[in-house]
């Protein structure tokens, strides 16, 4: 396992980088890469913008940003950073068709598992770089985001050639990259946290303090036990005390913290259900594992999403 940060060797030549989705995560990545000034950054967005402010713990940075609003304006780039919600991946197909050449790598900065499968129609798996995002991003306005450091790394990637290339890409941005030899295990550990905290906060419309109730704690342990059985069936070496570890991590977060599903539900937006609980239930079904609690959560969250889709626009 190794960590790279702004002090790593700045060995790569300037690259063309397209960031799709300038929300909480993409806004931070695009703004900090632009501020680093090493690469040519273009944002692929639905509404034009000319500059971007990233509020960091160390102070704000305000950078000009090149933005395209029509995929027809785009051409092949060296890197795509895909930063939409997982359920919006299909909608960015026209961008990916224009941006991806034979040598393009796609870093998928999305929660869940199955990153390569999501972009399979546009790029082969060997050019996909799944990225676990640990920093907390918050979009304050279309041209303003806030980044908060949560743990000692900001993102994690596999410790392979693609992961190393991604770490080099971020050199100078201030984002700290962990390269992990056990990336799949790390991905599942993040999935377990999300599989508990996101559905329960979204369904109860309460922040993470709800997880501290005794009855909800017991529910969390059941959700985790089912998900851990699925992960193990997938060949992921989850530990004997995995559920306890996951709850300890969650209890380490401030009780007033929300989750992305909670905020999406509050805002009347679709929740990122399929990449999290949906992925666990799909994998468990393939392995014939009973997952009554995760199935129940999935059913309820799908009903919420369907109601969002059925809501008249405006």
Ligand X SMILES: NC(=O)c1ccc[n+]([C@@H]2O[C@H](COP(=O)([O-])OP(=O)(O)OC[C@H]3O[C@@H](n4cnc5c(N)ncnc54)[C@H](OP(=O)(O)O)[C@@H]3O)[C@@H](O)[C@H]2O)c1
CB atoms within 10 A of CB 284: 21
Q: Tokens representing 172?
A: 């100078």
Instruction: For residue 257, give the 3-state DSSP assignment.
Output: coil
Which of 282/289 has CB closer to ligand X? 282
Active site residue 311: no
Helices 292-310 and 279-286: crossing angle in degrees, nearest 10, is 130
Which of 167/193 has CB closer to ligand X? 193
Q: What CA–CA distances, in Å, run from 307 to 242, 269, 271, 277, 312? A: 35, 10, 11, 18, 10
Site residues (vs ligand X, CB under 6 A): 20-26, 44-46, 83-86, 88, 91-92, 109-111, 133, 136-137, 139, 260, 272
Say how many Å lie between the first and final Cα of the chain, rounded: 48
Cα separation, 44 vs 56, whole angstroms:
23
Cα separation, 228 vs 10, whole angstroms:
40
| CB-closest chain residue to ligand X | 23
Alpha helices by DSSP H, the chain: 24-36, 93-99, 115-118, 161-170, 183-204, 214-233, 242-252, 260-266, 279-286, 292-310
Which of 20/211 has CB closer to ligand X? 20
Which of 43/291 has CB closer to ligand X? 43
Q: Which of 105, 190, 207, 265 is catalytic?
A: 190
Which of 23/76 has CB closer to ligand X? 23
Which of 229/257 has CB closer to ligand X? 257
Instruction: For residue 278, give the 3-state DSSP assignment.
Output: helix
Kindly write down the DSSP assignment for every residue of 54-91, as one continuous string: EEETTEEEEEE-EEES-GGG---EEEEEE-S-GGGTGG
The β-bridge partners of 109 are 131
Helices 183-204 and 292-310: crossing angle in degrees, nearest 10, is 60
* Catalytic residue annotation: 190
């Amino acid at each position: 396992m190794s960590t790279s940060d702004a002090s790593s060797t700045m060995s790569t030549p300037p690259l063309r980088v397209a960031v799709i989705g300038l929300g909480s995560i993409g806004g931070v990545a695009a703004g900090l890469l632009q501020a680093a000034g090493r690469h040519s950054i273009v944002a692929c967005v639905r509404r034009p913008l000319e500059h971007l402010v990233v509020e960091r713990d160390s102070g704000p940075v305000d950078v000009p940003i090149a933005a395209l609003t029509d995929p027809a304006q785009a051409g092949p780039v060296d890197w795509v950073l895909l930063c939409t919600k997982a359920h919006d991946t299909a909608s960015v197909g026209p961008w990916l068709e224009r941006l991806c050449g034979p040598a393009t790598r796609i870093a998928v900065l999305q929660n869940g598992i199955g990153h390569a499968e999501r972009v399979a129609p546009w790029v082969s798996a060997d050019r996909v770089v799944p990225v676990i995002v640990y920093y907390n991003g918050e979009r304050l306005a279309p041209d303003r985001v806030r980044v908060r450091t949560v743990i000692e790394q900001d993102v994690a990637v596999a410790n392979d050639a693609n992961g190393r290339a991604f770490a080099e890409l971020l050199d100078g941005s201030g984002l700290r990259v962990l390269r992990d030899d056990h990336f799949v295990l790390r991905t599942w550990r993040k999935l377990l946290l999300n599989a508990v905290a996101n559905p329960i906060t979204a369904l109860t419309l309460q922040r993470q303090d709800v997880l501290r109730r005794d009855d909800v704690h017991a529910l969390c342990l059941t959700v985790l036990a089912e998900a851990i059985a699925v992960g193990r069936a997938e060949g992921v070496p989850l530990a004997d005390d995995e559920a306890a570890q996951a709850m300890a991590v969650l209890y380490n977060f401030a009780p007033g913290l929300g989750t992305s599903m909670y905020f999406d539900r509050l805002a009347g937006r679709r929740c990122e259900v399929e990449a999290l609980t949906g992925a666990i239930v799909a994998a468990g079904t393939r392995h014939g594992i009973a997952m009554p609690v995760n199935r129940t959560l999935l059913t309820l969250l799908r009903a919420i999403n369907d109601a969002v889709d059925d809501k008249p626009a405006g």
